Amino acid sequence: MSNWIHAGPQIAAAFLGSSVEAIEAMTIVLAAGLVRGWRPALIGTAAGLATLTAIIVVFGPAIAAIPVAYLQIVVGSALLLFGIRWLRKAILRSAGVVAHHDESAIYAREASTLARSDGVSTRWDVVAMLTAYKAIVLEGLEVVMIVIGVGAVGNVLLPASVGALAACALVAAAGALLHRPLARVPENTLKYIVGIMVTAFGWFWFGEGIGIHWPYGDLAIVGLMAVLYVTSALAVRASRGVRMFSDANVEGSP
């Protein structure tokens, strides 16, 4: 029980990160189901989930065999790269430099592509099956990465997995009830929060792996998140300022 309380930040990171990925996968599965038919979309989804399960069963035990210091370095580096990528995107979206992720637009684009695809929609509609399969496998692998990243080193793989599964179940239930993409979920804010959490975990695990003694132990992660939050807020303001200055220069030029 104490392990589960101790794992609060990891569960939260797994839940939030997985919900973003689940929403993205659900948008594509919905498009495949509504445009080409539910049976092939669900077959593709089931096949995708089976592939993910096989990957976890095959590669999962290998993680336990890796020495902790190496695991911390590898997982820490991967988390840092992964987290910085999300944080960068979230900063640029918040600053108005790149467009916000729009599930409705993605759904419309995917539905249009599926409607134009060759082949008749049948029980074994390969186009719909492959579309759903690819979405589930790719977004699912990101979920697996997040769970392994935040859970493997701290020995909280089970709580992190439960957090991720809860997010996926919640999104799937919402999709089944609403039959439309979850466009109102503040996906950029979620990505921002997860980017901060995952980057902080990445710093912490990589540091531990190379022998850094973090002040206040695990509590240092909270401090690292605070540093990231303040700096990323500054980065949003700076990027917005640079963008407005560039726009003004373009408009002012003859």
Partner 1 sequence: MNAITSTVRALIGLFFDDGELALQILALLAATALMAKAEVSASWTSIALLVAGTLIILLLNVTRAARNR
Alpha helices in the chain (DSSP H): 2-6, 8-36, 38-65, 68-94, 103-116, 126-151, 157-178, 187-209, 220-252
Chain mean position to CA 109 = 21
> How far apart are the C-alpha atoms of 116 and 111, rounded to whole Å?
9
Please count the residues of the chain.
254
Q: Tell me the window of 12-20, 77-85, 101-109, 171-179 that interacts with partner 1 (CB under 8 A).
A: 77-85
Decide whether 7 or 17 has the Cβ nearer to partner 1: 17
Decide whether 146 or 156 has the Cβ nearer to partner 1: 146
Of positions 15, 82, 107, 201, contacts partner 1 by CB under 8 A: 82
Mask for 138-167, x = binds partner 1 (CB under 8 A): x--xx--x----------------------
The answer to the question of residue 67 lying near partner 1 (CB under 8 A) is no
Q: Which amino acid belongs to residue 213?
A: H
Q: Which two tokens stand for residue 1?
A: 């029980």
The answer to the question of residue 214 lying near partner 1 (CB under 8 A) is yes
Say how many C-beta atoms besides its own lie within 10 A of residue 92's C-beta.
18
Say how many C-beta atoms besides its own lie within 10 A of residue 56's C-beta.
15
CB of 49 vs partner 1, minimal distance in Å: 16
Binding residues for partner 1 (CB under 8 A): 73, 77-78, 80-82, 84-85, 87-89, 91-92, 95, 97-98, 130, 134, 137-138, 141-142, 145, 199, 203, 206-207, 210-215, 224, 227-228, 231-232, 234-235, 238-240, 242-243, 246
